[in-house]
Structure 1
């Protein structure tokens, strides 16, 4: 028998995060392109980001046929939040007269690269990166490298850079509750044995 699911946050009703999800305005528009394999992931942080930001949209797929219109909303300059040799630091866009459309692929690094490969228009966007040295609070996953953040953490850091002094930290509340809940479910001893710093 399956558990009743919250239709908004997609968590089991007994672990609904909706009361923790903020309602934040941003000048920056955030477009999250989520690989289908992430939709049912227990820690779907892209969904949490999209729910907490009024100026955000989450689209699930591998090939996005309506990409030309999605990438050209009036009054915004589209930039892809993804590392690359020619990626500009986000600080280069502060201050800016024209707000950014921040396009964020969501999936494992491999799946995110696949989204770029399958959508040449996406891969052709100018790329932006976060400041180095970001430390993830994602204690359940070993980061593939320094500065590797979950999707919601990357969005928070990007918005904090672009829209300082406005704080987007409230977006991390449901994310942190999600992690605490997962740790509680597995038990502190199992968490320490498998995930705590060695």
Structure 2
């Protein structure tokens, strides 16, 4: 018999994270496009980001209907958070074009994220943006595929902290850190140290 789950955060009721999820306002509109394989992942960090930001939404799929309409949301400049040679480094909002960003964030493994771009040419055609300096990931349960790899919620927090400084969005990481601590406790510290410890 499956354990009862919280409808909002999708965690088992005895591990509900809702009390830790903030409700933060941002000028930036964040749209998380989640590959369907990520929805059942125990650490669904895109969902945590969407729940913690007032001006955010989470869409799940491989081919996204209504993408053109979404990208033309009045008052925003659409960009794709995706590293690469042509990606522009994010900087704080300042003079010039004062429209805030519509920050599109693909959620999935690198392979799945690239597939989302391939299946949605409108996404691939967007200007790409990236982080200049990446704070090391706190995601201690996954071996990062390469230095600078972050979980989705960490990438969103770091992007918003750059764009909207001096505002700080670190409160979004509270449920994420609680999740990780809970997973480590569940697997046992010895198992964690053996599999994920430095060494």
Q: Structure 1 length as normaliser, TM-score? A: 0.98
Q: Where does residue 156 of structure 1 map in the other structure?
A: 157
Q: Which runs of 5+ in 2 are unaligned?
A: none
Question: Which one is further off, 141-150 or 73-82?
Answer: 141-150
SS in 2 for 1:137: coil
Corresponding residue for residue 5 of structure 2: 5
Q: State whether residues 28 and 102 of structure 1, in contact with CA within 8 Å, keep that contact through their aligned partners in structure 2.
A: yes
Whole-Å Cα distance in 2 between the matches of residues 142 and 81 of structure 1? 21
Q: What does the per-residue CA deviation read over 1:86-110, in whole Å, with 9 as the maximum and x for residues that have no partner?
A: 110001x531511000000000111
3-state SS of the aligned residue for 1:101? strand
SS in 1 for 2:193: helix
Partner of 2:69: 69
Q: How does 1:90-109 map to 2 (within 5 A)?
A: 90-91=90-91, 94-95=93-94, 97-109=98-110
Q: 1:31-73 deviations in whole A, cap 9, x for unaligned? A: 0000000000000000000000000010000000210011111
Distance of 2:139 and 2:118 partners within structure 1? 27
- Tell whether 2:30 aligns with 1:30: yes
SS where residue 106 of structure 2 aligns? strand
Give the distance between the partners of 1:171 and 1:14, measured in 2 at CA.
21
TM-score after normalising by structure 2 = 0.97
RMSD, aligned CA:
0.8
Tell me, in whole angstroms, the C-alpha distance in 1 between the residues paired with 2:184 and 2:41: 16
**Structure 1: how far apart are the matches of 2:102 and 2:182?**
33
Residue correspondence of structure 1 range 35-50 to structure 2 within 5 A? 35-50=35-50
- Could you tell me how far apart the structure 1 residues matched to 2:176 and 2:41 are? 13
Counterparts of 1:154 and 1:188, CA distance in 2: 27
CA distance in 2, matches of 1:197, 1:122: 37
The CA deviation at 1:134 is 2.2
Provide structure 1 residue ranges, at least 5 long, that are not aligned to the other structure: none
Number of matched pairs:
197
Contact 1:9 1:17 survives alignment (8 Å): yes
CA contact (8 A) 1:134 1:148 kept: no
